[in-house]
Chain A
Amino acid sequence: MPDHVYVTGMGIISAIGNSVEETFHSLYTGKTGIGKIKYLDTVHKNDFVAGEIKRSNEELIALAGIGDYNRTALCGYIAAREALYNAGIVDINEARTGLVTSTTVGGICHAENVYKDFFEGISNENFTDSYLSGVSANIMASHLGITEFVTTISTACSSAANAIMLGTRLIKNNMLDRVVVGGVDTLSKFTFNGFNTLMILDREWCKPFDENRKGLNLGEGAGFLVLESERLVRQKNKKILARIAGYGNANDAYHQTASSPDGVGALLAMEKALKIEELKPSQISYINAHGTGTANNDSSEGMAMQRLFGAEIPPFSSTKAFTGHTLAAAAAVEAVFSILAIQNSVIFPGLNRHEQMKDVSISPIDQLMINQPLEYVMSNSFGFGGNCSSLIFAKR
């Protein structure tokens, strides 16, 4: 029987706060971080809202205190550092420790600002040094002192879920004792223009699971968890925040970019996650849905949840209207939210919903629910191309 895998620390930076504490306060008081674009230098500044981290690059450099790196590396480091601090880890090398991070943007946020000058001979900054996704992982690892194992996953919007899954399996298979897992994506013109071209951005606040939803709001953020083996947790008598009780990844063999209308991949991922510990759907006490606010996702995910849970659907909500869609980081950001829900016995509501969706009969939670004992929380993250992942966090 392999070791259980526990979460012993977490860290986060997003539009709703620069720490776990600030994040909880925003979620608890229903305060969204989505607003007018202030930091991203884009011609669409006045056309769209976004969930920006409320710090300029200069302020992030000061906050991280590790040097003049790009926004992705800085935010990733800040969140991972908080997670390790939170887990009470001082000596990183006392156990076999790895870093599994994820990103879709990597250094594009910086490269896109300098490459033109480089090719025109105006600047000689080699932007390729920071461009690749793996570079921010290496920067983070070197400043955190992690040398045992470092890798980066990029599977669109399910990236961080797959990072958490890989970290869990590395511990279960006794390849590592401790893994810092999560993801980071910062806003870039590249992402913004890409999503705008796909015509799935809402110009106003997104409305997940609303009949009249118009699309998603982009966000940026980083979330990291410290996962530790049962053996290490016992040996060090560590405080446990949650346990990884399930994980599943599936594809839905439907389209290169869109999700299937009946949510085949989403359903498979949730079923696989339940199967890890042979949980019944009725044991899930809350679902933090992917719920991006696009017509395609919410209908497909709604259909899948309806198929799996039927009339017994547990309370579910999408927190994307707080943070915007943080892409590769979404599953890590929402893992932190899920664990906060478990620890505080609360269910965070969605925002901005007015009208029930017509193609499904299930409805999400719109008001904060307190005094909710949560044993198992499911968190969904689905990527373009039908890369669907689902995680289950247990209270004990």
Chain B
Amino acid sequence: MLGAAFITSYCTIKPWEVSIDGAVGYVDNGEFTTADFLKNIYKSYNVDYPKFHKMDNLCKLGLLNAELLIRNSEVTQKYKPEEIAIVLTNSASSLDVDQKYQATIQEKDNFFPSPAVFVYTLPNILIGEIAIKYKITGENAFFIAEQFDPHFMNSYISNLLNTNKARCCIAGWVEFYNNSFNSFLYAVEQQPGKLTLEHTTEILGQIF
């Protein structure tokens, strides 16, 4: 008999609005750039984390989404650092910053690589940034897939919980490539929280 699991909170950041548990939050309706939009979310939710400004776009997007999810679900207060897993997925990996970094080393006469940029040229750095900010030391994995796969995510996370590898999981899709972006994070716990959505493939597909 496998234990039940629930989606206790979910948040999305899409052009150009934030939503928390399905309710619309911050909305941008001016003519902003993506960078402005992310900075506006940072300001509007009073996120105080100066390191944010040094991050690449993928990490900025994912970190903001994680901040909103963690505030809303309070999982870091409910669980020990090693009880929380992080499982993320996207299709463009870190290609957005990979290409920007490549441009700094492409030409001999215009050669200006920066370690501060280089360090972001892996997708799982986003997991690292979330783990560092919220002191999460549980299991983690970043999967690259063509599209969000509710079936895979559901079975992977159920397995983590059912085998006692974690008691809670922060999961979702964080994609940023060429100013096109879409981020969706959700928390899975073994008992209902603010939401009582059952952790099933169907429901995941509906709320994504």
Contact = CB atoms under 8 A, between A and B. Distances in A.
B136 interface: yes
Interface string A242-282: 00000000111111110000001100100000000000000
Interface in B63-101: 81-82
A268 B137 CA distance: 9
A35 interface: no
Contacts of B125: 256
Contacts, number: 27
Nearest to A272: B82
Interface in B111-131: 119, 125, 128, 131
Sorting the interface of chain B by its residue count into under 10, 10 to 19, 20 to 34 or 35 or more gives: 10 to 19
Contacts of B151: none
Chain B interface helix/strand/loop/mixed: helix
A315 interface: no
A385 interface: yes
Sorting the interface of chain A by its residue count into under 10, 10 to 19, 20 to 34 or 35 or more gives: 10 to 19
B200 interface: no
B140 interface: yes
Nearest to A265: B137
A251 B131 contact: yes
Contacts of A254: 132
Contacts of A252: 137
Given A253-B81, A256-B119, A268-B82, A385 B137 contact: no
B140 A251 contact: yes
A255 B132 contact: yes
B194 interface: no
B82 A250 contact: yes
Contacts of A256: 119, 125, 128, 132
Interface of B: 81-82, 119, 125, 128, 131-132, 134-137, 140
15 contacts: A250-B82, A250-B137, A251-B128, A251-B137, A252-B137, A253-B128, A253-B132, A253-B134, A253-B135, A253-B136, A253-B137, A254-B132, A256-B125, A256-B128, A257-B119
Interface of A: 250-257, 264-265, 268, 385
Given A268-B82, A268-B137, 9 more contacts: A250-B137, A251-B128, A251-B140, A253-B128, A253-B136, A255-B132, A256-B119, A256-B125, A256-B132
